[in-house]
Amino acid sequence: MTFSRNPFCTFFLFALLFFSLTVILKKWHFGLQENKPFGDAACPDGLTPERDRLLQQLKERQQELELLDITFDNIQSSEGFRDLHLSTNHSVNYINAKTDIGCEELSGMKAVDFLGSGYTKTVLKAELPQGLFVALKSVNHQGTDMRLCMDEFQDSQGCHELVSFKLRKEIVLLQRLQHPNIVELKGQCQDSALVGGITAVLEQGMPLQMIQLLQSPWEERFRVCLGLVRLLQYLTHSPLGSVALLDFQPRQFVMVSGELKLTDLDDASIQEPACQEDSDCLLQFPLRNFTLRCSPSRICEGLNEMRNLYNAYRYFLTYLLPHQSPPLLKPLIHQIMNSTGDLKQSINETLAAFEEVLHTYKSGLHLENLPPSITRDYAVLKGVRSGGNMEYRCRLSYNQQGCVLSVHSASEAVLICNSHPQCTSFSLSSERTWTGRLLASFRSGFSHLVPDVNSAVYMRRVKASGAVL
């Protein structure tokens, strides 16, 4: 099915559709909707009502991409852009991402695994000729969006273009928004013969598994929450303005080397809702609602920020942050949970609270009241490690076959060993976690010692009666 039998009419419609910058930008959206015909006057004998609606939606998607470019160019040229760049916690280059991988590099790729698919996109794991593993994101031709479009318009070419706009938008956003907690865009290709249309080449991550995260050490769960809050602070003050994640779900994120990274951006919004009164600035969630103030400029300022923050609270912080947190950090954690759950603080204040927890945890300030004598009941053997170990398991261990926990110092390790009835010794090595804390291995016994300059063994002293102190 073609758009028109009249070549001039087809050219006119596409020129109007893709290159006109003079039309007034309308409120854009993500779903399908009815609109007033715009093409009948220009080509009255070539349009059906269905085709007219399809062309109108294609035009709106193109305007959405143009809005991203216009917004970015305006902000980048403004005086405040340099201040914004300097104020972010993670300095990045906001100019278009350098993408080295193109169609030529993908010609020799080897598909390794199917990573998943959604309404719009399919994701494959691929190995490039140079041995680099990447994620390839392309249009899902069997997905819900394509099926709904075909049911309504019966136009495979037009529906492919319409559905492709979500992926095109995501590529543009990944070029504009660069942050350690957003997946890196490594390249792109638009070649129907090679990749079946447009394909984004992304750094490869693992799908986020909440059940697995719940079973991981608190330090790793805190890392995920901290990365998420840092990301939301960046999105609030991004080069495109305040960005809302309208489809905020754990499935929109992946894990890359222990870091949480946002991978789906096609449902992001860079516009705050317009309003006439405060009641227009309503945030609705399943269990509670919030109302923000309508600003003098008739915009719900801060609504995107608060939407993101409360979604972070209900999807991530509630499950990951308080559970098995260090007892001496619980007051700080409790304050964070209260303030985010009631939206009492901004994202900047929330991030400051997280950074305080990180600093306290890394520096060991929460352990400053431990008496120096706490280690006196342990004999220290430096330059050795234990062999023939008798392991026991403990909750939230780094090693599921034993009990390996992170500690700030030997004193904290003693505190933990004293609280475990099975523990008779522990060892410290040079291995550290992402915070710089030591990894301590706790055990109920061992048979012999092995020389190791990077290790020390701490053994509970035994009373004359034979009881462990």
- SS3 string of the chain? CCCCCCHHHHHHHHHHHHHCCCCCCCCCCCCCCCCCCCCCCCCCCCCCHHHHHHHHHHHHHHHHHHHHHHHHHHHHCCCHHHHHHHHCCCCCCCCCCCCCECHHHHCCCEEEEEEEECCCEEEEEEECCCCCEEEEEEECCCCHHHHHHHHHHCCHHHHHHHHHHHHHHHHHHHHHCCCCCECCEEEEEEEHHHHCEEEEEEECCEECCHHHHHCCCHHHHHHHHHHHHHHHHHHHCECCECCEECCCCHHHEEEECCEEEECCCCCEECCCCECCCHHHCEEECCCCEEECCCCCCCECCCHHHHHHHHHHHHHHHHHHCCCCCCHHHHHHHHHHHHHHHCCCCCHHHHHHHHHHHHHHHHHCHHHCCCCHHHHCCEEEEEEEEEECCEECCCCCCCCCCCEEEEECCHHHHHHHHHHCCCCCEEEEEEEECCCCCEEEEEEEECCEEEEEEEEEEEEECECCCCCEC
Q: Are the beta carbons of 128 and 12 closer than 8 angstroms?
A: no
pLDDT at 284 over 50: yes
pLDDT at 9 over 50: no
The residue-averaged pLDDT of 46-66 equals 85
pLDDT at 73: 61
Q: Specify the pairing of strand 206-207 against strand 244-245.
A: unpaired
pLDDT at 374: 87
| Among the ranges given (13-17, 47-51, 253-257), the one the predictor scored with the smallest mean pLDDT | 13-17
Q: Which of 66-75, 141-150, 155-164, 222-231 has the highest mean pLDDT?
A: 222-231
pLDDT at 121 over 70: yes
pLDDT at 17: 36
pLDDT at 183: 97
- The active-site residue out of 191, 247, 267, 280 is 247
pLDDT at 18: 34
Res. 191 pLDDT band, cuts 50 70 90:
confident
Res. 93 pLDDT band, cuts 50 70 90:
very low
In the chain, the N- to C-terminal Cα span, in Å, equals 85
pLDDT at 378: 94
The reply to whether 155 belongs to the active site is: no
List the 110-117 sheet strands across, edge first. Answer: 110-117, 121-127, 133-139, 197-203, 185-191
pLDDT at 371 over 50: yes
pLDDT at 227: 98
pLDDT at 97 over 90: no
Res. 5 pLDDT band, cuts 50 70 90:
very low
pLDDT digits (tens, 9 = 90+) for 404-417: 999 999 999 999 99
pLDDT at 38 over 50: no
Spell out the residues 6+ positions from residue 133 whose beta carbon is closer than 8 angstroms to its own. 112, 125, 126, 127, 204
pLDDT digits (tens, 9 = 90+) for 395-451: 889 998 899 999 999 999 999 999 999 999 999 999 999 999 999 999 999 999 999
pLDDT at 443: 94
Res. 46 pLDDT band, cuts 50 70 90:
low
Which residue did the predictor score with more confidence, 467 or 63? 63
Q: Which residues pair with 448 in a beta bridge?
A: 387
pLDDT digits (tens, 9 = 90+) for 212-266: 999 999 999 999 999 999 999 999 999 999 999 999 999 999 999 999 999 999 8
